Amino acid sequence: MSKKKRNHIVPKVYLKAFCNEGSSTVNILLKDSKKVIKNVDIKDVAVEKNFYIQHRIDGTRLTKTEDELAVIENRLIKPTLTRFINYAAAPIMDGELDLPRKYKQDLVDTVVSQMFRGKNSRAFAETTSDDIYNELLQDLSQMRESERITQEQYDLVVENKKRLIKNGIIESSNATVLDQSLIKKVLMNRTIRLMRNSLDIPFVTSDEPVVFVNMKGESGIYKTALSEATTIVYYPISPNVLVSFFSRSLLGEKSDDSLITLSNQDRDFIMSMNKYQYKHAQECVISNSSYALDILARGA
């Protein structure tokens, strides 16, 4: 029997930003027991055994090792997170954030990579991509009826989706390449709010760090739809920096990418973000602040 491999469902290069000062350890809040454990090495956080073993529809097995994911982590995720953390740390005024398209694409790719990595996020991402795909088909149907596209062009889109599913073309999560590209397209059309936090309550993260919140009042992995304009995506990238994606229609005229510094008036917002991390976590919440975790444990 082959040796079981421990796979990180949240990259270590991401977790490093949440480490206790001068170490490779974090503090974690166990969701079920509400117990806070201090100084846990990140090599033991957010891991699953043989998580990237895949199965095609025909039953054959594929192996996606963390060695392969390391290429993505080192070439994309690590430099992207560093870049945006540095943006937030720079001594610049709040206001419009003039992001090169490549930098925004890198950030979107990083977020979507995490979406298709964890257990809950994986299920949500696949459901979301189906929602977006169905909306695409509706739009194409209207275009076909108005003769802006041909029946042949419409059929090509449908057959392409069927072919990807049939052939079992798989990313790290059984999601198709088309699934990821649809979600990336939606996020690229959204406005980025880079929020920096220097208050005594830091942002926490979890083993499911990408959070979706619907302004209609719904929240949760399975209750929101990225295809809805009222859904906001939040992704903490350090205790001091939160990335968010808003639909342009939700923001109105103030729809440029921007940098925002949070103040004491935003304490409730920060606490809400931390509660969302707790709510969406699969097993644990992660932080360099046991104080922030204790607050969550008492209020959960």
Q: Compute the radius of gyration of the chain from its Cα atoms.
A: 20
pLDDT at 223: 47
Note the pTM of the prediction, 2 decimals.
0.78
pLDDT band at 168 (very low <50, low <70, confident <90, very high): very low
Q: With respect to residue 88, please indicate whether it lies within any of the assigned structural domains.
A: yes
- The dihedrals phi and psi of 197, each to the nearest 5 degrees, come to -130, 120
Q: Is the pLDDT of residue 244 over 50?
A: yes
Beta bridge partners, 25, equal 41
Q: With respect to residue 143, please indicate whether it lies within any of the assigned structural domains.
A: yes
> Helix 101-115 crosses helix 119-145 at what angle (to 10 degrees)?
120
Domain range for 281:
6-299
Q: Is the pLDDT of residue 37 over 60?
A: yes
Q: With respect to residue 34, please indicate whether it lies within any of the assigned structural domains.
A: yes
Q: With respect to residue 189, please indicate whether it lies within any of the assigned structural domains.
A: yes
pLDDT at 154: 66
pLDDT band at 5 (very low <50, low <70, confident <90, very high): low
Surface-to-core class of residue 156, CB atoms within 10 Å of its CB (0-12 exposed, 13-18 middle, 19+ buried): exposed
Q: With respect to residue 262, please indicate whether it lies within any of the assigned structural domains.
A: yes
pLDDT band at 55 (very low <50, low <70, confident <90, very high): low
**Per-residue pLDDT tens digits for 185-207:** 889 999 999 999 999 999 999 99
SS3 4: coil
Q: With respect to residue 1, please indicate whether it lies within any of the assigned structural domains.
A: no
pLDDT at 57: 55
Average pLDDT over residues 242-264: 87
Contact 226, 214 (CB under 8 A): no
Q: With respect to residue 263, please indicate whether it lies within any of the assigned structural domains.
A: yes
Question: How many domains in the chain?
Answer: 1
What are the residue ranges of helices labelled H in the chain? 12-15, 66-72, 78-89, 101-115, 119-145, 151-167, 177-188, 248-251, 267-280, 290-299
Please name the amino acid found at residue 99: L
**Per-residue pLDDT tens digits for 89-147:** 998 889 988 899 999 999 999 998 888 777 666 666 566 656 666 666 676 677 667 77
How far is residue 219 from each of residues 13, 18, 49, 128, 225, measured CA to CA in Å? 28, 24, 29, 14, 10
Question: Which of 45-59, 192-206, 211-225 is the most confident on average?
Answer: 192-206
